[in-house]
Structure 1
Amino acid sequence: MATVELRFSAQPEHVRTARLVAAAVARRAGVEEAVLDEVRLAVGEACSRAVGLHRSNGLTAPVRVVLTEEEKVFSIEVGDEVPGPGGGPDAAVPGIEAALESDLDGEDEMGLAVISGLVDDVEVTTGESGGTIRMSWPVAGVSDLP
């Protein structure tokens, strides 16, 4: 299992770099060429969302992006440091639909809707230490996610 971790200050101009790194690592991991645009767009949306949350909450902590290459799947986690409502640490949101139905502002809802349209396997978690959007894609030659 190979992992690349990227941390960047919550500035919009760094989102482009995160997209480029994600696409390069996904290509190396074996994600199909036709899917790389979806990876790039989904990471851009998730990072833009995290940057917006950090900036609107006055946080100086970096946005965290973890890219993990496993045998059959390539996954990306984009994390923010904005504490979520209740549910204790790292409470899972039961599906992207629940995240879309919550009391999020319009821009946040739109970003999650775009991500859910681009990625089949999405998990949104939130807790006292912040939120994470985890996205997964099969690598080339693998028909189903584990």
Structure 2
Amino acid sequence: MATVELRFSALPEHVRTARLVAAAVARRAGVDEAVLDEVRLAVGEACSRAVGLHQIGGIAAPVKVMLIEEEKQFSIEVGDEARHAPHGADAPGDPDDVEAEEDEMGLAVISGLVDDVEVTAGEHGGLIKMTWPTTPPPAAVLA
């Protein structure tokens, strides 16, 4: 199992770099070329979400991205350190409702791009784990 860890300041300009690194590592891991655009888009959405949560919460800690290459799958984990309120905890009309709607929209986009996605969130941060199948490299032809 190979793992690449990426940490970046919660600034929107770093999201593009995270997308490029994720696509390059996914390609090397054996993710089908046809889904690499989806990998880029999903990582971009997850990282943008984490950046936004850090900026709103005034969190100085970096956004964490783990790129995990396993035998038959490739996973990307995007973690934030924002405090997540339980679903539905805000009062109706609360200004945080707009942010919650944007958050839900971002998660819906990710779910539409990735078949295998897990979202966990709690008082000490959140994690989006996205997984894609990989194909082994073709066997070398012996001459």
TM interval, short-chain normalised = 0.7 to 0.9
Q: CA deviation at 1:12?
A: 0.1
Calculate the TM-score normalised by the size of structure 2.
Answer: 0.84
Task: Give secondary structure in 2 for the equivalent of 1:82.
Answer: coil
Tell me which of 96, 116, 122 is aligned to 1:121. 116
CA RMSD, Structure 1 to Structure 2 (Å): 1.8
Q: Offset of 1:129 from its aligned partner? A: 2.1
- Provide the C-alpha distance between the structure 2 equivalents of 1:54 and 1:129, rounded to a whole number of angstroms: 12
After TM superposition, give the deviation of residue 104 of structure 1 in Å.
6.2
Aligned to 1:90: none
Equivalent residue, structure 2, for 1:99: none
* Rg larger for: 2
- Counterpart residue number, 2:11: 11
Give the partner amino acid of 1:23. A
Correspondence for 2:93: none
- Structure 1 partner of 2:89: none
Q: Give, in angstroms, the shift of residue 126 of structure 1.
A: 1.2
Distance in 2 (CA, whole Å) between partners of 1:44 and 1:84 is 20
Aligned residues: percent identity? 78
Structure 1 position 132 matched with structure 2 position 115: no
Paired residue total? 127
Task: Report the TM-score when normalising by structure 1.
Answer: 0.82
The separation in 1 between residues aligned to 2:84 and 2:102, in whole angstroms, is 17
User: Any unmatched runs of 5+ in structure 1?
Assistant: 87-102, 142-146
Give ranges in structure 2 of 5+ residues lacking alignment: 87-97, 137-143
